[in-house]
Every structure is written in structure tokens, then in C-alpha cells.
Chain A
Amino acid sequence: MNGVDTGDTAWMLVATALVLLMTPALGLFYAGLVRSKNTLNTFMMSIAAIAVATVTWAAVGYSLAFDGSGDLIGGFGNAFMSGVDFVPREGTTIPELVFFAFQATFCIITTALISGAVVERMRFGAFLVFAALWSVLVYSVMAHWAFGGGWLIERGTLDFAGGVPVEMASGFSALAAALVVGARKDYGRQALLPHNAVYVLLGAGLLWFGWFGFNGGSGFSTGEASVLAFTNTLLCPATTLVVWFALDVIRGRKVTAIGAATAIIVGCVLITPAGGFVSPGWAMALGALGAIPSWGIIAYRTRTRVDETLDVLAAHGMAGFFGILFIGFFAQETWNGVSDGLLYGNAEQLLDQALAALAAPVYAFVATFVLLKVIGAVMPLRGTDKEEAMGMDVNQHGEEAYVTGEGAILLLPDDHDKVAVPVADPG
């Protein structure tokens, strides 16, 4: 039936759902890392990314990423999902509707990732505006470069599941966002500790689970590349975990739980660009070697004034950068059927990879920096000091994560009209 493969389609339907699960999982991971008074706000930023980025993706994002083969950006041919139906997209064996949904989940999680840089202080409304614009102006552009027929994929840069548009885009955007929004008022003065390490571990575990769809689905089939990426998604993060344990022991004599959760993320990110291009052995080497720079940045970052709160740069930007370059050395045509890296005699591949590793951080950082400056000129990006002290849950959402109910008086609908509702204002 018009080139649709039922096995491929069945897997891609599942993979899409797996990737969507990653965003609430990220919300849980992030929520555990913040203080309890910001739990819901932090989680809601991920939920908001599902809301906003899906709508922008259907409206123009998908079209700008995947319509046509312009060097820098796609066209408007698929705007408002025009022409997205049961016919497979060229080069795939799945209905374009499935392809659209699968790619949408990538745009969603990438947008959600950046929230890690601005939690505990950014206003929710400003984040919604930022998420809508970023998902189009940064994500769609970079997805076009790496996946949709833009200049990187055309010149032969290998990026299996999003080292460029997902990992480097979110990581370097997060750095820009942290610089523009500014540090939390207590940053560097008080210990700001994760309030629930169990959420962090559970969130990381669910992210890893979802990542099998993320990487395993990025071959858009049940073919060899997908199978290779799937198994590499098990191997690489596991070796990252082992190395991270060792680094933790060397520094602090103890293996930490939050360190382990971070290592899972770093390992999954490392294999994201390389999943379908390197052998299982090299995937394990990638997990081991790639742990070191990310671990180093996390250790160093806390000594600086930059409050890139949840280390999106280290976990995603740096690991994505490392993974993209790793392909240039260790890709193997006997495994991927596409291209060799430097080690197997193809130096040109390394050049293609290096260009991506240079261009992606620059575009992501500059575009996000400018975008947030513009939004900041129109509306305040962050809550007042008083709101920040109270916690963003109560003053942005009028809810608390761990409400006891003691002393709560039920307001009946009639009272509602009488009481001038002083929403979350203790003053």
C-alpha cells in the first residue's frame, strides 16, 4: 500500500509515544533537583513545552524544518500540516503523519530541556512566550540543518538522532538563557539543594526508557541502523555510569545518587548523535570517554557566577558536542553502511562533524541570547525577589506540591464573588 511498511510503522508509533514520555520524565527529573517550593513550576515548564511546541510545530515548525532543501531553512509548503497525510515521506516507509508526530516529540523535549537553566526564577508567562518562539526560530532551523535537507546533512554531516538540533541546541541555548535571565537571588550565598533525589533517579530512569524510542526510532524503520542505535542506547549510558561512579569516588570517596542520575542523561546524550553510526564497542568507549568533560564542567560550573541551574550545558551541550565529534573519528561503514570516520581512513568525515560542532553552538547561543533580550524588553523575564523567596509554585500557579490542607478553608462559589481574590499575595 503506497510504500508503507507495516512493521516500520508499528515500531515508529511506539517510538513516538516513548519519546513523548521523556518530557514528563524530564519534568520529574528537574522537579527533584529544585527546592520544594518550586516543584510544580519546574515540572510545569516541561508540560508547557508539550503544549506550546506541539502547536507551533503543527503551525509552521514542521514545515520550516522539513519542507524543501533550502540551505538554512525550509519552506511553508507543509504549514498547518498541509499535505501531511498517509503517504510516506520520501526516503521513509512510514506515513508522513507518523513522521510528523515523531519529530514533534523531539521539538517538545528540546524546548523543555532549556527550562533547566532558568528554573526557580523565570516567570511562567515569559517562559511560554519564549518556548513558542524558540521552538520555531531555533529548533526548526537547526532541525532543518541536520535532518531536513539543510546545509549540514547535504554536505554529509552525520547526526543520527539530534546531536545538533536537540543536544547542542538546548545546551548552548541554556547557557545564553542563564546569562540573560540572571542568577537566582540566593545563588552563591546559600546552599540550594535538590529536594527529592528519588524523583531525580526515577526521572532519569524514565528518560533512559524513552530514549530507546528517541534513538531507536531515528532510523524511521526497524532496519539495521535502528537496531544498532537501540542497543548502543543500552551500552553507552551504562559505561558512562561506571566511569561516573569512579570519578565520584576519586573526588568525594562516595558514589552519589544524583551523580548517577546525571550520568544516565550524559550517556544517553553522548550516544544520541552517534547511535546508528558506531559499533557497539566504540559506543562503550564513547560512554566512558565522554563522561569526563561533562563531569568536569559540572564540577567547575558551581564555582562560577553563572547560575545555569540544572547543568543543561554540561549534560546536553557538552555531551552532544563530544558525540558529534566522536563520529568523525570512529564511524564505521561496515556497521552503518554510510561512511567511515578518520580512524577508518575518511578524514573528510571529521571535517563535516567539526563544522556542525562549531556552527550549532554559535547559532543556538546567539539566537537564544537575542531572542530573550527581545522578550525581556517587552515583559519581565523573572519574578520579583519576593516572589522568588516565596517560591514560584504559589505565586505563578496558586498551588503547592506538598499541601497539607491544614487551615484551608473551602471557598464556595458564592463567596467567590464577594471576596476580592488576593491570589498568592501575603503582603
Chain B
Amino acid sequence: MKLVIGIVRPEQSNQVLEALHRAEVRGFSISRVQGHGGEMDRVETYRGTTVQMGLSEKVRFEVAVSDGFVDRTVEALCEGGRTGEVGDGKIFVVPLDHAVRIRTGDTDEGAVTPVSK
């Protein structure tokens, strides 16, 4: 059981959602974050004040999956998030100790496997 964290461009998030859907990954959450990787900074000017914008808007996907789903989740994030330019983002896969579905009390594999109805 792993937690897959994908940080992607906001403008790619719809493609990522489509790719996850195709990979039959149904449960995830997303949040808007700001971050900095290796990309060059944007320079913006507001009434004479010129600033270098060190942080870029990103969207962070968090997907908890059973082991058999890890690869296809990572592939979906890559496929949906990639433009080929610097700044496409990163994927982190981290071990997950325990999961509980609040409604039923299901734990672990049962909690991260979508219910069919």
C-alpha cells in the first residue's frame, strides 16, 4: 500500500484527471499548492515595482493505492502531466502504514479499494 503524491502544472490537471480515470484509479484528492523546482522565474511588474516570482502554482494529487495499482497510477500522472518543459512537476511514492474508510471502518487494502456501489 502506497501513497502516490504527484505535483503537476495546474493547466495539466484536467489531463491528469482523464489519465487517472482511464487507469481506473477512482479515489484521490487534489489541492492547490505553490512551489519551486528548477524552472526559471517569471518576472512581473506592478506599477514600477519589478518582482521575480519564485513560486509557481501547482496542483498536488494524493492517491492512496494498493501495491498492484502503484505503477499505473504513476504512469497516469506522468502521461497527464508531461509537457516536456521544465516545471512539469514531480511524483513521490511513499509507504503507507494504515488506512481506514470512515463510513464502514474498513481498513488498509479494503479502505483504498473503491466500493462498487
User: A interface vs B, CB < 8 Å?
Assistant: 186, 189-190, 386, 389-391, 394, 398-400, 403-404, 406-411, 416, 419, 421-427
Contact = CB atoms under 8 A, between A and B. Distances in A.
B50 interface: yes
Interface in B11-57: 11-12, 14, 34, 36, 39-46, 49-56
Nearest to A400: B44
Contacts of B56: 426
Contacts of B14: 186, 189-190
A406 B34 contact: yes
Contacts of B52: 408-409, 411, 419
Contacts of A407: 34, 36, 53-55
A422 B50 CA distance: 12
Given A419-B43, A426-B42, 7 more contacts: A398-B42, A398-B43, A410-B49, A419-B52, A423-B42, A426-B39, A426-B40
B43 A423 contact: yes
B41 A422 contact: yes
Given A407-B34, A408-B52, A411-B50, A426 B43 contact: no
Given A407-B53, A408-B52, A422 B34 contact: no
A427 B86 contact: yes
B33 to A, nearest CB: 11
Contacts of B51: 408-411
B83 interface: yes
Interface in B59-117: 83, 85-87
Contacts of A424: 42-44
Nearest to B54: A407
B67 to A, nearest CB: 32
Can you list the 9 inter-chain pairs with the closest CB atoms, starting with the nearest?
A407-B55, A407-B54, A389-B11, A427-B85, A408-B51, A409-B52, A411-B50, A398-B44, A426-B87
B111 to A, nearest CB: 31
Contacts of B55: 406-408
Contacts of A425: 40, 42
Contacts of A386: 83, 85
A39 to B, nearest CB: 14
A390 B44 CA distance: 14
A403 B9 CA distance: 17
Contacts of B49: 410
Given A389-B11, A427-B87, A403 B50 contact: no
Nearest to A190: B14
A388 to B, nearest CB: 9
A422 B43 CA distance: 7
12 contacts: A399-B46, A407-B53, A407-B54, A408-B53, A408-B54, A409-B54, A410-B49, A411-B50, A416-B50, A422-B42, A422-B43, A423-B43
A172 B33 CA distance: 42
B85 A403 contact: no
Contacts of A421: 43
B71 to A, nearest CB: 27
A196 B42 CA distance: 25
Nearest to A427: B85
B88 to A, nearest CB: 10
B86 to A, nearest CB: 6
Nearest to A425: B40
B86 A403 contact: no
Contacts of B40: 422, 425-427
A399 B44 contact: yes
A390 B34 CA distance: 15
A407 B52 CA distance: 8
